[in-house]
Amino acid sequence: MARKRRDARRIEPVFSGSDKLNLRLSDQDRTTGPGGKKKAAKAPAKGSAGRKKPGRPASRRGKKPARPGLLVRTVKRAAYWSAVAGIWVVIGFGGLMAYYAAYLPQTSEWRVPKRPPNVRIVSTDGLLLANRGDTGGEVVRLEHLPPYVPQAVMAIEDRRFRSHFGIDVIGLARAMAVNISRGRLVQGGSTLTQQLAKNLFLKPDRTIARKMQEVVLAVWLEAKYSKDEILEMYLNRVYFGAGAYGIDAASRRYFGKSARHMTLAESATMAGLLKAPSRYAPNRNPDAAKARTKLVIAAMQDEGYINAIESKLAISEPARVVSRHNSASGNYVADWVMDRLPGYVGSIDEDIIVDTTVNAGIQDSAERAVRDLLAKDGGKLNVKQGAAVVLDRYGAVKAMVGGRNYAASQFNRAVSAYRQPGSAFKPFVYLAALERGMTPQTIRTDGPISIKGWRPRNYTKKYYGKVTLKRALAYSLNTVAAQLAHEVGPARVVRTAHRLGVASKLKATPSIALGTSEVSLLELTTAYVPFSNGGHGVVPHVVKRIRTASGKVLYERSGSGPGKIIADHHVAMMNEMMAETLKTGTAKRAKVKGWPAAGKTGTSQNFRDALFVGYTASYTAGIWIGNDDGSPTHKATGSNLPARMWSRIMADAHAGLAVGSLPGVGRNDVRTARVRDNDNNPTLPPRPPNDLGGRIPPKKNTGGLLRAIFGD
């Protein structure tokens, strides 16, 4: 092929004289335009063909284009490598989660553990006496709570709860940044779901392994349960301080009400506790609690849960902490119920309700009487404690006060304190004498005596000479009681007391006549009940029914008691004598207006204990006052403070009831008297039921039965 000539010129087509078409390449069309290696072509001739094309300004023609700035390139590189680093962080975080998740059980075995069962203990009219169990409160459904409760918790603890998947990435990043900037742990990034996972499954260890497992479990909870279910589980299980687990327990502990009735301010106070229950407890640190509550209310307003007016009202009307829930005497009843509960239902694995025999009105009256009179006169008598028990004709406990303040002392002095009853034991001596053929009109001489070297004296140190047994009991003459015990034998007196219901072991010595053997207030009061119901033995009981929260009955009281243990004519004689004690004897202060009543005072040696036990046709009540350390009082006697307490309690208990005569006294005989108690139950059953569920059948040998129940 012929070689091209090196100097051959390139000829481009030109249409001369045409002003319609120009096919010459412009600088922009050329691959070696401005800034290239080749020189730009000369400008075309004038005319339409030489018309300038729009393009870059003439001043920039032939120059290189500007390169991107350093800042732009830096930002792009940073964004790129940040994305790469983020991907590796996610991969690493996922690997770390997988590694620590391998130490958890298989997912097929993951189950939310059951909440510890709650025992709801209620009065005869369904009022709550106390909650017992590991939580101290019942489970409350989310829809039954005021909306302020979950809103306050989310506002202060987890604002993005409704949108995250168990882990709040934004909150976690913010917390990390703050902690790094401060150089110490200031904020936490845990969500409510993570907190629930920790409470349900993990130990409170502060390790990376525990934290990663918490994250894994939180994601699992979010996948398995709805947001409302998670929130409900959280509120019913989280710790609010003061031994309260769950929102209901905390509400009752701090505010004395169910969580169903909490106000906005109370809800905010509860939410504020979650960060540090002991630091923000309103009963311990009210100032810190108020400041924290304001913070929660502000957070609720920021989130739009409440408006400015609601916020101001909540701050102006702060939550009021009550102490009665912790100090109420119903807690003594609840503790006694819990002691007896295993004998009825064994172990429990779900929430249960215990229906008791306690009358809430009588319980409150008894509590007020003990507290008020001890506050008024306890100081001058050097008396620090008191106790009270009220039983109906069946032996059902209608009220029990184990001390003046449960919060200060949980020791139940009505059940667990064993003290000398003093002269309150004498009715058993007199009953034994009547059963040996004596009568209220039998004469004995009140004067100095000596029984095997023992020389009892009267409290007044006076002697009245020849007196009837009726007068001797009314005036509580020690010498006559000692003579009677010596005549019938101390062993017979002990058997009589056991037959009527005294459970403690008694010493059959001559001094038994003056109540030197120790007994509990509950058993002493129980032993007086047969005088009020016509001679029927009873067993004290407080549990009427036990059922699950869903309504299934686990136990219901049935069966019969010991039956007839005192003959009718002996009941009538005893009531005639002990009624005189309130009319002319040592218990003049113990009266119930309009009601026939009877009873006996008691004062132990050196004035350590003072008691009064009395009864009407409807109720029997026992009162004790003294000091836990057994130190002497300033001559406190059963005829003073105990008698006054008894009168006040019984007056309230009998309000609105039809008056009934004592068995064998007056026109109404024991076989025809019919009265009703505050629960509208007939009070004279043919056979008073016991508290043993029919497990011990009634026997004719009632004395042997009581010994089988109580022991010798």
Percent of the chain that is helix, strand, coil (3-state, to 5): 40, 10, 45
Amino acid letter for position 327 = S
Is 351 in contact with 118 (CB distance < 8 Å)? yes
Amino acid letter for position 526 = T
Q: Which residues of 113-141 are buried (b: 16+ CB within 10 A; e: fewer)?
A: eebebbbbbbbbeeebbbbbbebbbbbbe
Q: Which of 123, 138, 157, 661 is catalytic?
A: 157
Collapse the DSSP code of 380 into the 3-class scheme (helix H, G, I; strand E, B; otherwise coil) and give the result: helix
Residues 6+ apart with CB under 8 A from 297: 264, 265, 268, 306, 311, 314, 315
Collapse the DSSP code of 295 into the 3-class scheme (helix H, G, I; strand E, B; otherwise coil) and give the result: helix
Task: Give me the residue label for tokens 């009021």.
Answer: 320
Strands 465-468 and 397-401: unpaired
Q: How far is CA 190 from the centre of its chain?
A: 28
The widest CA-to-CA distance across the chain, in whole angstroms, is: 172
Q: Determine whether 423 is an active site residue.
A: yes
Listing DSSP states for 214-273 in one string gives HHHHHHHHHHHS-HHHHHHHHHHHSB-STT-BSHHHHHHHHHSS-GGG--HHHHHHHHHH
Closest listed residue to residue 235, CA positions, set 318, 305, 302, 146: 146
Q: Determine whether 618 is an active site residue.
A: no
Q: How far is CA 286 from the centre of its chain?
A: 21
Alpha helix positions (H), 435-565:
469-474, 478-488, 490-500, 521-533
Is 357 in contact with 691 (CB distance < 8 Å)? no
> How many CA atoms, within 13 angstroms, populate the side-chain half-sphere of residue 44?
20
Strand partners, 676: 682
Q: Which of 423, 604, 618, 639 is catalytic?
A: 423
Q: Which residues are catalytic?
A: 157, 423
